[in-house]
Amino acid sequence: MDSQTVAVRHEEEIAHHEGEHPHYLRHHFETVEQQKEASSFGMWLFLLTEIMFFGGLFMAYLLYRNWYYDAFASASNTLGIGLGTTNTAVLILSSFTMAMGVYCAEKRNRRGLLLSLGCTIILGLVFLGIKSIEYHEKYVEHHIPGASFSIDDFVHPHDKRDIALDPSTAQHAQIFFFLYFAMTGMHALHMIIGVSILFALFYKAWHGAYTTGHTAIIDNFGLYWHFVDIVWIFLFPLLYLISRHPLH
Amino acid sequence: MHFISPVLWQFLVKWLTEFALFPPEASAIAPYMDAFYFFLLLISLIGLVLVGLMVGVFSIMFRKEKSPQATQIEGSTLLEATWTIIPLALFMVCFVWGALLYFRIYNPPTNAMNIYIVGKQWMWKAEHPGGQHEIDALHIPVGRDVQLTMISQDVFHSFSIPAFRVKREVIPGRYSTVWFRATQPGTYHLFCTQYCGTLHSAMIGDIVAMSPEDFRKWTAESTSGQSLAQNGERLFASMGCVSCHSATAGARGPNLAGLYGTKEMLADGKTITVDDEFLRGCILNPTTHVVMGYVPIMPTFQGQISEEGLIDLVEYIKSLDTADRIRQTLNDSDYSPNQVGPTGPAPNYRSRQLTGADQLPDAKPDTSTSKGMGPSPQ
Amino acid sequence: MSTIVRLPNQQDATLPKRSYLNQEYGLKSWLLTGDHKRIAILYLISITFFFFLGGAFAGLIRLELLTPMPDLVSSDTYNKLFTAHGIIMVFLFLVPSVPATIGNFVLPIMVGARDLAFPKVNLLSWYLYILAGGIILSALILGGVDTGWTFTTPLSTHYLNTHVITAAMGVFVAGFSSIFTGLNFIVTTHRMRAPGMTWFRLPLFVWSHYAASVLMVLGTPVLAITLVLVALERVFGIGVFDPTKGGDPLLFQHLFWFYSHPAVYIMILPGFGVISEVVSTFSRKRVFGYTAVAFSSIAIAVFGFFVWAHHMFIMGVSNYSALVFSLLTMLVAVPSAIKIFNWSATLYKGSITFETPMLYAFGFMGLFTIGGLTGVFLGSLGMDIHLTETYFIVAHFHFVMVGGMLMSYLAGVHFWWPKMTGRMYPESLSKLAAVTTFIGFILTFFPQFILGYLGMPRRYHAYPPEFQVLNVLSTAGASVLGIGYLLPMIYMTWSLKYGAIAGSNPWQATGLEWQIQSPPPTENFLEIPVVDYEAYDYEWLANKTQHEVTTVG
């Protein structure tokens, strides 16, 4: 069946029997329950594929961290711990506002939903803003892997005298930064997609959607947002906190 | 056959007589591989005949004309267990047999003669310890265990000698080894079997297995005059290695004499055996291979030495068995003719049974490094 | 406990007035459809296109190998040809073949659902497929890519100047297409089954698709991220896979094969499903040992994830991992053996007829047995040293993928053709095609086993002259095979208009899809059925047919 026909049928359904056969029930599902279960199950599966997707990166990280521990530790120490921690807090907070959004949608509280979604959008944007500041810092410091990569800033992670890391080890910091950019970049990409969807959700919620009992989309997006959050929770210690030097 | 033109006929005859069905069995391992192959073929044949019989016989017996009514059968645990366990058992036999063969092929015997192979797009370079260099060919004696220590300069290659039933990936950045003992003199195919770019199919060569006498003759004729260890010694001096690894009391670097094959404690507490791979790693990434008690001050030589140069250095370090030998290099680096080795060549190479070069006459210039170094203008 | 077969009289059959095919007209109604059946047809058309494109490349490869000299095309072109053949056949044909066409069409009906759980995602998956196809085609048109379908690093990252990133992007997108298909199947199987359709009443087709879907969902993302890394490495030259900069090229191998080995099970498992249906239907018997066959699919999916390093036995993996992976490889061979034996035993005391799908299924059983057993050769560590990277490998995976998968795909297309189109294909011509394919196949690929043991390396543009006779045989076989594949394409198209009208259940099969009209209506079931019979219950079907006759009469 074509989506247009479905739409026509749906409108008829809204007009005639709003109560017993809700308009958001898609034609191929028997019950609302079934539709809801199917969509959340699908979302979980999708998140599973996302885990495997990041899994490849984590695998690479694991290998090289084992091989080049000193370079990793030293490079990790040049990351801005303050910005990183702030971002972690921002993201956890956004997870909370997202959870509030899901709660409000279930309680059919439109104002609450809009407020939560709005906060989540802002926090998401703050995260991305801070991330871009960090990226810019890396650019200024010539820590972006490639031809202009500079190894001048890396100090020995264990030695208290702040001696420079020898060049052959320091070269491997490139691999760290490559993984840093690949991992946080993939994560940021997910954030950007998430924030874009949030805008769409906000727009629809503004027009009254999701607070009429059909919360599946908000629920599923919540799962996605929390997933992206959890990925960061893993990325933060792995990238920022390798044998942190007390001085930095 | 008068209706076929004679030219075509000749062509057909030539074509059909040249055609091969089974590769020559030219190494000690080949008969074992072939025995296993025939065992696997037998299993496959039995399996195939069994399935074929079941399908064929049932199709005839129970075709609709003869059997208009199907009898519904749920299954049979006994039968299913049978055809689970029997294949499993057979596969386990294959597994064990295959594993034994694998370890046999990939674990070289300790007294094998060593030849280095460097693969690059799209040629094979062979480096004999005695200083014979070959391209796209490898001469080996029949009846001797030959170990190949192989490395790639660029991409993955794979060194395959079908007649010997051996093959190993040649990987950039690390040594891999394979060994064989040729049994039949002859010329055999050498293929690169890992796709490596445009001229992949041109990365072929000849393996020439020769009788020991012929091989001796060949080595004598084709030596470049400088053994790998001699080349390595020159590199050792010219790259300045000798200034730290001077084997003197106050040396900043570890003493390399007699090091090969020993166990060393690294700075991070791990113990490793000093082998080709470790030595190569030490030269390219010194800081990740720091030996306990030393400061990581050695610069990296990544990008400054070719794979051949590394092989020369490794071969040189292998050849060192006394500290005197290194100090001699120190002096040799000045190329002063009066520094002819007082310790004599023979004891220097006692530790080199691994390469086996000492058993061959061509190794003579090899075993008298210092003599060769002195007078020759280099 | 016996069932009499009575095939319905097809003279009386008429095409239904309303079906998914004539529900709506116009290109837009197809391109924006959410109907799984229409999407299946879209897939069928696009897959056929890519199959023949990939086949044409294969033809050129075989033509080049007719002589030992590199005379038809240059080495670069040859490398681009086999790369194009591999990428197109693997990612654009084999992976989506049965699931995206036949699976898409019948899986929802088999479980008793009106559609897949996410129709829009299903459509998106087709668009991603088309996008992927477009990207890969553009890579070919812009000048081709010569990495081989395996994208081996550091060759692909640092040593080639061809359109590697474009091709990798195409494969990346194709991966998401298959993830979405798999995701849809899993959710549909879990959540959309009709009342009474318990797990053990599901046709084995659904079981095998379920297992394949798990592999798609878990394996494909790893390939995706690997290709992203390859692309980044190519652009920035960082050295994650470059040993001179401290990277590990073997990491790429591990990541790549972590997907690409399960991928062969993604390809073959749906084929197993087709064979179960076909063998059961044409012997009018329940599949022998239903549970064993069902669980063997799951076992293959589970073990399939832990055998990837058997592609790397000669690459210097540690001895222990070589042992473990070889052992697991042996274990994964067992479920396949169980399936083959169970299908053979299904024939016992059946009432067998030899329609075209059955002939293809017999072809499958023969060829897959050979393919599977030669897999044991390669899984045995020592043997693998001699055989890997030679034509033995080529022959092995073509026996499994072409002999196994393509045979079952064709069996499936013939089997469900009446359901999809409402019309029969011409039976005698199709039998000829099945036999031609079988003979052509054996002639093409059997000599390659011998070539492999002789040591002829794969991906060789030129080869020593003593290999020529076998290569000529292989090329000759390829031309026969080509005819065998062209025939169905021609008569199937012909049958769309001129084929006999099929009726709803021309084979007297038991699946739910055969209990509705052919072609099915858009919503599949006017009312969701309540399932009260086991899978492959031919007695139930016989009773039902009898009952229908009495009520009508």
Summarised one tens digit per residue, pLDDT across range B90-102 is 999 999 999 999 9
Contact assignment for A46 to C187 by CB distance below 8 Å: no
Radius of gyration in angstroms for the set of CA atoms belonging to chain A, rounded to a whole number: 23
Question: How close does chain C come to B212, measured CA to CA in Å?
Answer: 26
Tokens for B237?
């001096």
Cβ atoms C63, C72 nearer than 8 A = yes
Alpha-carbon torsion angle C168, C174, C180, C181, nearest 10: -140
Question: How close does chain C come to B197, measured CA to CA in Å?
Answer: 7
Q: How confident is the model at residue B2 (pLDDT cuts 50, 70, 90)?
A: low
Question: How close does chain A come to B313, measured CA to CA in Å?
Answer: 20
Summarised one tens digit per residue, pLDDT across range C478-500 is 999 999 999 999 999 999 999 99
Summarised one tens digit per residue, pLDDT across range C230-241 is 998 888 877 788
Of B284, B287, B297, the CB nearest to A169: B287
Query: Nearest-CA neighbor of B314 among B146, B136, B129, B168?
Result: B129
Lookup result for tokens 């029969």: C424
pLDDT for residue C249:
85
In a mutational test of the C interface, the residue from B11, B16, B58, B149 whose CB has the highest number of chain C CBs within 10 Å is B58
Helices (H) and strands (E) in chain B, counts: 12, 13
Find the range with the poorest average confidence among A2-6, B291-295, C114-118, C229-233.
Answer: A2-6
What residues contact B254, with CB distance under 8 A and at least 6 apart?
A: B245, B291, B294
**pLDDT of residue B372 exceeding 50:** no
Query: Nearest-CA neighbor of C101 among C131, C129, C120?
Result: C129
In C, minimum Cα distance to B75 occurs at: C289
Most confident of A162-166, B88-92, B126-130, B297-301: B88-92
Q: H or E element: which one contains B69?
A: strand B69-71
Measure CA B264 to chain center: 25
Contact assignment for C32 to A27 by CB distance below 8 Å: no
CB-CB neighbors (< 8 A) of B71 in chain C = 1-2, 285, 349-350
Provide the 10 A C-beta neighbour count for residue A82: 9
Summarised one tens digit per residue, pLDDT across range B21-78 is 899 999 999 999 999 999 999 999 999 999 999 999 999 999 999 988 888 888 889 9
More confident position, A154 or A104: A104
In C, minimum Cα distance to A33 occurs at: C191
pLDDT for residue C4:
57
What gap in Å lies between CA C103 and CA C203, rounded to an integer? 12
**pLDDT of residue C303 exceeding 70:** yes
Query: Nearest-CA neighbor of C148 among C53, C61, C50?
Result: C61
Of C188, C190, C225, the CB nearest to A57: C225
Most confident of B246-255, B293-302, C399-408: C399-408
Question: How close does chain A come to C519, measured CA to CA in Å?
Answer: 14
Query: Nearest-CA neighbor of B307 among B133, B105, B179?
Result: B133
Q: How confident is the model at residue B329 (pLDDT cuts 50, 70, 90)?
A: low
For all residues of chain B together, what is the average pLDDT? Answer: 81
Of C34, C222, C248, the CB nearest to A56: C222
A152 burial via Cβ count (<10 Å: 0-12, 13-18, 19+): exposed
pLDDT for residue C549:
57
Q: Work out the angle between the directed axes of helices C75-87 and C119-141 (0-180°, nearest 10).
A: 180
Average the pLDDT over C147-171 and give the result.
90
Chain A and chain B share a number of CB contacts under 8 A equal to 21
Contact assignment for C236 to A179 by CB distance below 8 Å: no
In a mutational test of the A interface, the residue from C222, C226, C257 whose CB has the highest number of chain A CBs within 10 Å is C222
pLDDT for residue B129:
87
Contact assignment for C240 to A46 by CB distance below 8 Å: no
In B, minimum Cα distance to C243 occurs at: B173
In a mutational test of the A interface, the residue from B280, B282, B285, B305 whose CB has the highest number of chain A CBs within 10 Å is B285
Q: How confident is the model at residue B243 (pLDDT cuts 50, 70, 90)?
A: confident
Interface check C353 vs B, CB under 8 A: yes
Phi-psi region of C68 (alpha: psi -120 to 50; beta: other; left: phi over 0): alpha
Contact assignment for B285 to A168 by CB distance below 8 Å: yes
Any idea how long chain A is? 248
pLDDT for residue A6:
45
Summarised one tens digit per residue, pLDDT across range C384-409 is 999 999 999 999 999 999 999 999 99
Provide the 10 A C-beta neighbour count for residue C546: 12
Query: Nearest-CA neighbor of C397 among C88, C90, C50, C59?
Result: C90
Provide the 10 A C-beta neighbour count for residue C74: 12
Sign of the torsion formed by the C-alpha atoms of B210, B214, B220 and B222: negative
Find the range with the poorest average confidence among A109-118, B171-180, B203-212, B369-378.
Answer: B369-378
Find the range with the poorest average confidence among B242-251, C117-126, C188-197.
Answer: B242-251
Q: What proportion of chain B, given as a percentage, has pLDDT over 70?
A: 84
Q: Which residues in chain C (203-262) have CB-CB distances under 8 A to chain B?
A: 243-244, 246, 249-250
* DSSP assignments along C476-524, one per residue: HHHHHHHHHHHHHHHHHHHHHHHSPB--S-TT---SGGGGS-SSPPTTS
What gap in Å lies between CA B181 and CA B192, rounded to an integer? 20
Q: How confident is the model at residue B357 (pLDDT cuts 50, 70, 90)?
A: very low
Alpha-carbon torsion angle C224, C225, C227, C231, nearest 10: 130
Provide the 10 A C-beta neighbour count for residue C54: 20
What gap in Å lies between CA C483 and CA C112, rounded to an integer? 38
How far does chain B reach from its first CA to its final CA, in angstroms? 68
Chain B and chain C share a number of CB contacts under 8 A equal to 316
Interface check B296 vs A, CB under 8 A: yes
In a mutational test of the C interface, the residue from A50, A64, A171, A178 whose CB has the highest number of chain C CBs within 10 Å is A178
What gap in Å lies between CA C526 and CA C522, rounded to an integer? 9
Average the pLDDT over C444-468 and give the result.
93
B145-152/B113-120 β-pairing: parallel
User: pTM for this one?
Assistant: 0.89
Query: Nearest-CA neighbor of C293 among B90, B49, B80?
Result: B80
Find the range with the poorest average confidence among A19-23, B317-321, C121-125.
Answer: A19-23
pLDDT for residue A166:
73
pLDDT for residue B367:
37
Contact assignment for B288 to A167 by CB distance below 8 Å: no
Alpha-carbon torsion angle B329, B335, B341, B345, nearest 10: 80
* DSSP assignments along A22-84, one per residue: -TTS-TT-S-HHHHHHHHHHHHHHHHHHHHHHHHHHHHHHHHHHHHTHHHHHHHHHTS-HHHH
Find the range with the poorest average confidence among B223-232, B326-335, C20-29, C437-446.
Answer: B326-335
Question: CA–CA distance from C444 to each of A42, B99, C362 (Å)?
Answer: 43, 31, 18
Provide the 10 A C-beta neighbour count for residue A158: 9
Cβ atoms A161, A245 nearer than 8 A = no
Interface check A159 vs B, CB under 8 A: no
**pLDDT of residue A44 exceeding 90:** yes
What gap in Å lies between CA C354 and CA C345, rounded to an integer? 16
C527 burial via Cβ count (<10 Å: 0-12, 13-18, 19+): exposed
In a mutational test of the B interface, the residue from A67, A163, A168, A243 whose CB has the highest number of chain B CBs within 10 Å is A168
What gap in Å lies between CA B112 and CA B122, rounded to an integer? 27
pLDDT for residue B250:
74
- Residue B263: DSSP 8-state: E
Q: What proportion of chain C, given as a percentage, has pLDDT over 70?
A: 97
How far does chain C reach from its first CA to its final CA, in angstroms? 27
Contact assignment for A3 to C35 by CB distance below 8 Å: no
**pLDDT of residue B350 exceeding 90:** no
How far does chain A reach from its first CA to its final CA, in angstroms? 62
**pLDDT of residue C551 exceeding 70:** no
In B, minimum Cα distance to A168 occurs at: B300
Q: If interface means Cβ-Cβ distance under 8 Å, which residues of chain A face chain C?
A: 1-6, 26-30, 34, 37-39, 41-42, 45-46, 48-50, 52-57, 59-60, 63-64, 67-68, 145-146, 171-172, 174-175, 178-179, 182, 186
For all residues of chain C together, what is the average pLDDT? Answer: 91
Q: How confident is the model at residue B337 (pLDDT cuts 50, 70, 90)?
A: very low
B204-210/B137-141 β-pairing: parallel
B145-152/B166-170 β-pairing: unpaired
Q: How confident is the model at residue B187 (pLDDT cuts 50, 70, 90)?
A: very high
Cβ atoms C265, C304 nearer than 8 A = yes
Q: How confident is the model at residue A86 (pLDDT cuts 50, 70, 90)?
A: very high
Interface check A66 vs B, CB under 8 A: no
Encoded amino acid at B78, one letter: L
What gap in Å lies between CA C35 and CA C44, rounded to an integer? 14
pLDDT for residue C548:
66
Summarised one tens digit per residue, pLDDT across range A207-246 is 888 888 788 889 999 999 999 999 999 999 999 988 776 5
Average the pLDDT over A130-136 and give the result.
94
